[in-house]
Amino acid sequence: MGGRGRPARARTAEPLGPPVTPRHRHRHHATAAGTAAPAALALAAALALGGCGTIGDETSGGRGPTASDGHAVSPLENEEGTEPGLAPVVSEADREEARRIIDGLATRGRGPRTGYDRDEFGYAWMDTADGVPLVRNGCDTRNDLLKRDGRELRFRSGSDCVVVSMTLADPYTGKEIDWRKQDAAKVQIDHVVPLSYAWQMGASRWPEDKRERLANDPLNLLPVDGSANSAKGDSGPASWLPPNKRIRCAYAVRFAQVALEYEMPVTAADKRTMARQCGG
């Protein structure tokens, strides 16, 4: 596993601030079968419209916007989390790669929630969590994520940061959401690995700056349908998976990428469930 050097790319016309120094990422693209070429990955994304059939014990879900809008990126090609959305993992080669990533996870039992408080991970959406992309660009984490994943963006008058309306292709439900700031809870920013889950899996003993990075790391953050996020709570994959079955393997990969980045174990049940989503 080597370091990752691909720079973050802004997905809107508005600047997201100066580039950050790439941090270490666990690279998972070199397999015994070879490395998937970019053209093959693009083809896999295009084939997503046809569904990916039965994956483990999951049947393919309905057509979702992440498969067809050309905006969402596969987690296998988005190890920094600076690209939008969560495109389905479609080809067998990519699902094999996904299983290899998941297989690298350590496991342990879930500890107590004692002492957990959101403030243990810093104040919400801070722009000063050094060590993650988009930091110190003058825009808070929440708005950075809305800008990253939203389309048809409109900003508050005089601002290139505060998003007041947008369209979101929600990966969790497969719905397209027209969002307005006055109805803010309709879209929420999900921590893919919930902060309470992380606390119970060892983050209670982390230094404060590491917890702040996890809470503001674009790799661990997705704007999603508010009701789906509320239903998830602090569940791991064994207890909750996105209703949109077509992106469940991608969700499992992203959960694994975050856990590996922060050297955090998952429960054995979560690891088994994650592997099943990708045919394991």
**pLDDT per residue as tens digits for the range 63-80:** 333 334 578 999 999 999
Fill in the amino acid letter for 222. Answer: L
pLDDT score of 69: 57
The reply to whether 25 falls in a domain is: no
pTM of the model: 0.79
Domain that holds residue 120: 39-277
pLDDT along the chain (280 residues), means of 10: 35 39 44 39 40 35 42 96 97 98 97 97 96 96 98 97 98 97 96 98 98 98 98 98 98 98 98 97
Q: What are phi and psi of 91, to 5 degrees?
A: -70, 160
**Cα–Cα dist 34/32, whole Å:** 5
The reply to whether 15 falls in a domain is: no
Q: Determine how many CB atoms are found less than 10 A away from the CB of residue 36.
A: 20
SS3 176: strand
The reply to whether 161 falls in a domain is: yes
The reply to whether 143 falls in a domain is: yes
Q: Which long-range contacts (CB under 8 A, 24 or more apart) does 212-215 make?
A: 212/121, 212/122, 212/126, 212/129, 213/129, 213/130, 213/131, 213/132, 213/262, 214/121, 214/258, 214/262, 215/121, 215/122, 215/124, 215/126, 215/129, 215/191
**pLDDT per residue as tens digits for the range 120-175:** 999 999 999 999 999 999 999 999 999 999 999 999 999 999 999 999 999 999 99
Residue 50 burial class via C-beta count within 10 angstroms: exposed 0-12, middle 13-18, buried 19 and up:
exposed
Residue 127 structure tokens: 């722009």
pLDDT score of 207: 98
Fill in the amino acid letter for 39. Answer: A
The reply to whether 20 falls in a domain is: no
Domains held by the chain: number: 1
The reply to whether 34 falls in a domain is: no
**Cα–Cα dist 200/266, whole Å:** 10
Cβ–Cβ under 8 Å, residues 140 and 161:
yes
Identify which of 143, 106, 111 has the alpha carbon closest to the alpha carbon of residue 221: 143
pLDDT score of 25: 53
Cβ–Cβ under 8 Å, residues 229 and 71:
no
pLDDT score of 165: 98
The reply to whether 90 falls in a domain is: yes
The reply to whether 61 falls in a domain is: yes
